[in-house]
Amino acid sequence: MKLIAILITAMTIGYTSMAQTTAITTIEFENKVIDYGTIKKGSDGNRTFVFTNTGTVSFMVSDIFSSCTCDVISKPEVPIEPGEKGKIVVNYDTKKVGPIVKTLTVKGNMTPSIIALKLKGTVVE
């Protein structure tokens, strides 16, 4: 029983040490809000969020969550080096008539650890 407790403690300490060594950077988005304005039903819903790694270490997107039925078409799959730009491409389904008020949450090795991106506009007939 003591051996199990020692092993669990050692694994926890090792995991915590690894998690704390992740290098943190900063990123800056050109726009955190994409305004579709008033668009017609069935229009092209693809839009791009562009950001720059303004920190001193590589940036990696760990996850993107969406509050909508929009799809994240692409996100950087390789680290974005300091000074380089990256992009996140989203597609909103413009077959749905009505207001667009949606949020995407980006997670990665940056401070703050999550950044909210917004989509807004109105789809009309």
Q: Residue-wise pLDDT tens for the chain (125 aa)?
A: 555 555 455 455 544 444 455 799 999 999 999 999 999 999 999 999 999 999 999 999 999 988 776 777 789 999 999 999 999 999 999 998 999 999 999 999 999 999 999 999 999 99
13: how many CB neighbours lie within 10 A of its CB?
10
Q: Counting beta carbons within 10 angstroms of the beta carbon of residue 55, is it exposed (0 to 12), middle (13 to 18) or buried (19 or more)?
A: buried
Q: Please check whether residue 56 lies inside any domain of the structure.
A: yes
Q: Please check whether residue 19 lies inside any domain of the structure.
A: no
**pTM value?**
0.78
CATH number for the domain spanning 42: value is: 2.60.40.10
Q: Please check whether residue 14 lies inside any domain of the structure.
A: no
**Contact by Cβ (8 Å): 103, 67:** yes
pLDDT at position 46 is 94
The range of the structural domain enclosing residue 73 comes to 24-124
pLDDT at position 21 is 59
If one counts the domains in the chain, the total is 1
